[in-house]
Amino acid sequence: MKKQTQMENFIRNLPKVELHLHIEGTFEPELMFKIARRNGIKLSYQSVEELKTVYNFSDLQDFLDIYYAGANALQTEQDFYDLTMSYFEKIYRQNVIHTEIMFDPQTHTNRGIPFETIIKGIHRAQKDAEKKFGISSNLIMSFLRNLSAKSAFETLEQASDYKEWITAVGLDSSEIGHPPSKFKDVFKEARKQGYLLVAHAGEEGPPEYVWEALNILEVNRIDHGNRSLEDEKLIAELAARKMPLTVCPLSNVKLRNVEKIENHPIKKMLDYRLMATVNSDDPAYFGGYINENFLAIVRALNLTKEHVFQLVKNAVDASFMNKADKEATSNNLEKYFKQHND
């Protein structure tokens, strides 16, 4: 078999773990039109093709405006179920065995959708996916950082009846001008309540925001973290702490944080011994799910099977699985790698 095809098969067949995924970012245009139609909602675009023409983003905010507009079509518990289930169907075909899904409650509660409608739909799909596909998953509730800390507190309060369904809280949306420190108190309260913590930092924002996420929010993982590479001390700190970075290569190119995939810093991150992982972020908008992300970096950066294995192993170790599941998954992955590394 040709070397290229062999590598592609290796990536496709490898059991994988995804740690950075916005469920609203998996809303494929076809499903968006279907759900909008059944809810009697008129989208601003006439067709799937016309909608796709606006998927050419100049930056994070430009993307977010389109992403939030798309999410407006979601109204009922069944809509959230269908959205989540169609993501699980996709990743089942890509051999993802565990995923940690972010959802943005405020995107929906601010337009009158009850918290319970959102979470019940997502949770039911998680249960069904476990039964049907054997995919385990955790849920991460993300606060929109462009909104107030008070609004984040209200969201934390709304989640209290569903605490056992939510593993961690996160921080996403427009980064610049909304540093992690703005959410110090609500993250402290979430930690007190037993949630694990993640935050987007260093996607567009400066290294200082990554420092704040580490030292003020005391997060368990950094989402993105790319701009950490501008600060040598921060690189050393992230490496010393074995702090996971949930990196999203196609997202970085689509949102123009990296000029082209050949310039993507993920190989550099591994060279610095940073705990980088590969993720799809908003796959319906950025041109691919986890396999497409792996294929893109492997081709552009000439990564080896060892690199790919390290990236997946990092994701297992950085996941919020319980200790026994983590050990079992790690052992299976190692066994798989030994059998297929020829």
Q: Which residues are catalytic?
A: 203
Span between the terminal Cα atoms of the chain, in Å: 12
Q: Which of 281, 294, 319, 337 binds Zn ion (CB under 5 A)?
A: 281
Q: Which residue, 250 or 308, has its beta carbon nearer to ligand HPA?
A: 250
Using an 8 Å Cβ cutoff, are 10 and 91 in contact?
A: no
Does 100 contact Zn ion by CB under 5 A?
no
Counting residues that bind ligand HPA (by CB under 6 A) gives: 11
Rounded-to-integer distance, Cα 25 and Cα 324, Å = 31
Nearest CA-CA partner of 74 in 18, 140, 28: 28
Rounded-to-integer distance, Cα 248 and Cα 211, Å = 20
Q: Which residue is nearest to ligand HPA (CB)?
A: 172
CB of 254 to Zn ion, least distance (A): 12
Nearest CA-CA partner of 17 in 72, 97, 91: 97
Rounded-to-integer distance, Cα 335 and Cα 61, Å = 43
For residue 136, the partner it binds in ligand HPA, Zn ion, none, with Cβ less than 5 to 8 A by kind, is none
Does 179 contact ligand HPA by CB under 6 A?
no
Does 79 contact ligand HPA by CB under 6 A?
no
Q: Which of 16, 17, 22, 238 binds ligand HPA (CB under 6 A)?
A: 22
Does 60 contact ligand HPA by CB under 6 A?
yes
String of contacts with ligand HPA for each residue 265-304, x by CB under 6 A: ----------------xx----------------------
Nearest CA-CA partner of 60 in 235, 202, 263: 202
Site stretch for Zn ion (CB under 5 A), options 11-19, 49-57, 64-72, 275-283: 275-283
Using an 8 Å Cβ cutoff, are 143 and 152 in contact?
A: yes
Does 25 contact ligand HPA by CB under 6 A?
yes
CB contact set of 212 (below 8 Å; sequence gap of 6+): 179, 180, 181, 201
Q: Which of 18, 82, 100, 203 binds ligand HPA (CB under 6 A)?
A: 203
Site of interaction with ligand HPA (CB under 6 A): 22, 25, 60, 67, 172-173, 200, 203, 251, 281-282
